[in-house]
Amino acid sequence: MAPSRILILGAGELGTAVLTSLLRHPSYTSSNSKTSISLLLRPASISNPKASLTALLQFAPTNNPITLVPGDIAHDTHEALTALFRPYDLVISCTGFVAGSDTQLKITRAVLDAQVPFYIPWQFGVDYDAIGRSSAHDLFDEQLDVRDLLGEQERTRWTLVSTGMFTSFLFEKSFGVVDVAGESAKVQALDGWENRVTVTAPEDIGKLTAEIVFDDTVLGGNKPVFIGGDTVSYAQVAELVERVLGKKVERSVFTVEMALDGLKGDPENALLKYYAVFGAGKGVAWDLGKTWNFQRGIHALTAEEWVRANLAL
């Protein structure tokens, strides 16, 4: 049976996308729906919500509104979080790495101690099992610790949603791989032009997560579910920027060796950690034909479609 009491942790880019898709899903909007959705936010965010969140909350049906739950993942005690999670039969963590190290373990331990029947942890990203331990990104080891915790117990059933890189992140100027500002554009390949990365747009991650939530053949399968919008090489990224945006592209390569050398002098540089992991090319790209959404016939935006929708004039 589909979960009837859902708690979403966080309302950032992904949390908003997941909440939006759940609100629009037929299993929630139908007149006989028994599903309720709650959103955990810091008290300050509840008392002074962003305009976008306010608009989204108003989208919920009047007879089944979203419940805002005050809580602070970073600062609340384990016992407090356990008590917060206990009433729900599905917790979806959309908190990301912003809260820092040990946060995902803290959330997971609280979920398990609260005996929540179903759990979708923050694993929206790469194939951490394939990357393995002791990678350049220290927080990735914590993701493996979460998987170990989940695998060691049987009470809470879980699903990991492996998305690859968020498409928006790939094209974010601050990430340093694609910069389309100005008359020309810059594309920096991570370790080589034929190196590939799987990308999924946040709105599609939200849509596919909602589909998984209401699919009892997938939710709680105790394994990763791989999804994707596109798998592209950096050469293809440069080509599509040139072709779709009509800009001459200045090309450069940032190697894994350069990233590791940089980390020696700046060990907390998150950008260099990502460069090293994605440049290594392991566990960051997969065949789209084998993804869950492709096999279900559910389309997700390709890299080119995302660029046309978000960057093209």
Task: State whether 248 and 186 are in the same domain.
Answer: yes
Domain with 123 in it:
5-164+202-226
Give CA separation, 194 vs 39, 228, 236, 253, 262, in Å. 41, 19, 8, 11, 23
User: In angstroms, rounded to a whole number, what is the distance separating the alpha carbons of residues 281 and 266?
Assistant: 22
| Residue 286 CA neighbour count, 13 Å, CB half | 25
Q: Give yes or no for residue 14 having a pLDDT over 90.
A: yes
Judge whether 291 lies within some domain.
Answer: no
Tally of residues, the chain: 313
pLDDT band at 48 (very low <50, low <70, confident <90, very high): confident
**Distance, first Cα to last Cα, the chain:** 45
Judge whether 39 lies within some domain.
Answer: yes
H/E element holding 185? Answer: strand 185-190
Judge whether 292 lies within some domain.
Answer: no
Q: CATH number for the domain including 118?
A: 3.40.50.720
Percent of the residues in the chain that have a pLDDT greater than 90, as a whole number: 84
Task: State whether 78 and 213 are in the same domain.
Answer: yes
For the chain, how are helix, strand and coil distributed in percent, rounded to 5? Answer: 45, 20, 40
With CA atoms as reference, report the closest residue to 78 among 45, 105, 115, 39: 105
The total number of structural domains in the chain stands at: 2
Task: State whether 188 and 138 are in the same domain.
Answer: no
Burial 62-74 (b: 16+ CB within 10 A, else e): eeeebebbebebe
User: In angstroms, rounded to a whole number, what is the distance separating the alpha carbons of residues 307 and 310?
Assistant: 5
Tell me, what DSSP letter sits at residue 50?
-
pLDDT band at 49 (very low <50, low <70, confident <90, very high): confident
Of 99 and 227, which is predicted with more confidence? 227
pLDDT band at 198 (very low <50, low <70, confident <90, very high): very high
